[in-house]
């Protein structure tokens, strides 16, 4: 079952500028879904639409299997969110900030201490929010989003501006909320290298179009398919003929022989076959595109 589902979600800004074009999000229940794309790709617009912060123009939005348009209030009671910058009262403590929101959400007062414990801010005492580090402010904002015990947590660039230690802490917090609290997490970012250590599923968007969607393993498989094995020899044409005669899918590019990535044993056999046929093999290189390269390739095409 999809916790969040959109079909042909399309949005235009003034002047008929296309912000989103037929975006079909499929966020599985219980997943950590990384919504990736460069700045201005359409991530925040999508998240604002699914939270009702922008009026939907075209398409379908379903959350928890229900139409968002027809069940908006019921659905939002089970959704927590942090979009762009934290909205906190700097002159108030963590508890005082949460007390303001607790009265709005009308949730039990003991929930304040529960969420402070979840985000590891239960020992901040009388310290004002204005004195918090950026990482502490982000965690306090997530505490606000958790007050109503949401089943879905939507976070827009929650690690923006954080130092490496803050990013690690945020990653650990989101994993804990997912694994221990059973919360489905949708987190947007423009950095795949940061997100790939956390997510189970990935959606990549650019210029308002969803370019890839699937599990992290499927993205890794795409990485492996784009990797290649290069042979540099003294007689590439004859070496290519030998490989093709032995049913290896080889071709030439940039004065080298190119094959898909093979096992070490197979590479050794190919090398032996070439040498036995009088071919001098100067170099064997495996080039593996990392996930960041796949991401860049997708958004640049």
How many domains does one find in the chain?
2
Range of the domain at 248: 227-289
| pLDDT at position 121 | 92
- Say if residues 261 and 228 touch (Cβ distance below 8 Å): yes
* Nearest residue to 258 via CA among 275, 272, 270, 269: 270
Does residue 117 lie within any of the structural domains? Answer: yes
- Say if residues 151 and 184 touch (Cβ distance below 8 Å): yes
Residue 201 DSSP class: E
CA pair distance 245, 219, nearest whole angstrom: 33
pLDDT in tens, 260-301: 878 889 999 999 999 999 999 999 987 765 566 677 666 666
Q: Residues for the chain: how many in total? A: 301
Q: Is 197 helix (H, G, I), strand (E, B) or coil?
A: coil
Are residues 95 and 234 located together in one domain of the fold? no
Show the tokens assigned to 265.
């044993």
Give me the percent of the chain exceeding a pLDDT of 70.
93
169: pLDDT strictly greater than 80: yes
* Domain limit, last residue, from 222, 241, 261: 222
Per the prediction, the chain carries an average pLDDT of 89
Can you tell me the mean pLDDT for 227-240? 90
50: pLDDT strictly greater than 80: yes
Q: Is 120 helix (H, G, I), strand (E, B) or coil?
A: coil
| pLDDT at position 225 | 64
Are residues 45 and 161 located together in one domain of the fold? yes
Q: How confident is the model at residue 190 (pLDDT cuts 50, 70, 90)?
A: confident
pTM exceeding the 0.95 threshold for the entire prediction: no
Are residues 180 and 202 located together in one domain of the fold? yes
| pLDDT at position 8 | 96
Are residues 196 and 247 located together in one domain of the fold? no
* Nearest residue to 143 via CA among 114, 180, 178, 183: 114
* Domain limit, last residue, from 169, 202, 222: 222
Does residue 70 lie within any of the structural domains? Answer: yes
Across the beta sheet with 32-36, what order do the strands follow? 79-82, 152-156, 184-189, 32-36, 201-206, 209-215
Q: Residue 65: which CATH number?
A: 3.40.50.300
| pLDDT at position 295 | 72
217: pLDDT strictly greater than 90: no
87: pLDDT strictly greater than 90: no
Does residue 63 lie within any of the structural domains? Answer: yes
Are residues 104 and 253 located together in one domain of the fold? no
* Domain limit, last residue, from 207, 222, 237: 222
> Residue 36 forms beta bridges with which residues?
189, 204
CA pair distance 134, 127, nearest whole angstrom: 14
| pLDDT at position 39 | 85
Are residues 190 and 279 located together in one domain of the fold? no
Are residues 158 and 249 located together in one domain of the fold? no
Are residues 207 and 231 located together in one domain of the fold? no
Are residues 54 and 190 located together in one domain of the fold? yes
| pLDDT at position 262 | 82
pLDDT in tens, 95-146: 999 999 998 888 899 999 999 999 999 889 899 999 998 889 989 999 999 9
> Residue 155 forms beta bridges with which residues?
82, 187
């Amino acid at each position: 079952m999809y916790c969040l589902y959109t079909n042909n979600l399309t949005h235009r800004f003034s002047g008929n500028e296309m912000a989103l074009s037929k975006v079909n999000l499929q966020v599985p229940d219980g997943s950590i879904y990384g919504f990736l794309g460069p700045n201005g790709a359409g991530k925040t617009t999508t998240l604002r639409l699914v939270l009702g912060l922008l009026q939907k123009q075209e398409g379908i939005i379903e959350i928890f299997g229900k139409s968002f348009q027809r069940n908006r209030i019921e659905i939002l009671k089970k959704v927590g969110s942090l979009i762009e910058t934290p909205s906190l009262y700097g002159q108030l403590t963590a508890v005082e900030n949460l007390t303001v929101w607790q009265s709005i959400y009308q949730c039990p007062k003991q929930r304040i201490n529960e969420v402070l414990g979840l985000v590891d801010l239960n020992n901040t005492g009388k310290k004002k929010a204005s004195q918090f580090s950026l990482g502490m402010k982000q965690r306090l904002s997530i505490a606000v989003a958790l007050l109503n015990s949401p089943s879905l947590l939507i976070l827009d660039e929650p690690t923006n501006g954080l130092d490496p230690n803050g990013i690690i802490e945020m990653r650990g917090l989101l994993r804990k909320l997912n694994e221990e609290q059973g919360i489905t997490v949708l987190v947007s970012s423009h950095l795949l290298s940061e997100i790939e250590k956390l997510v189970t599923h990935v959606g990549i968007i650019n210029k308002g179009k969803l370019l890839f969607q699937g599990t992290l393993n499927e993205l890794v498989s795409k990485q492996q398919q784009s990797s290649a094995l290069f042979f540099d020899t003294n007689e590439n044409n004859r070496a290519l003929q030998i490989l093709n005669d032995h049913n290896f899918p080889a071709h030439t590019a940039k004065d080298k022989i190119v094959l898909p990535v093979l096992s070490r044993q197979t590479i050794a056999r190919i090398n032996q076959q070439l040498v036995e046929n009088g071919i001098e093999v100067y170099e064997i290189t495996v080039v593996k595109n990392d996930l960041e390269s796949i991401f860049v390739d997708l958004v640049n095409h």
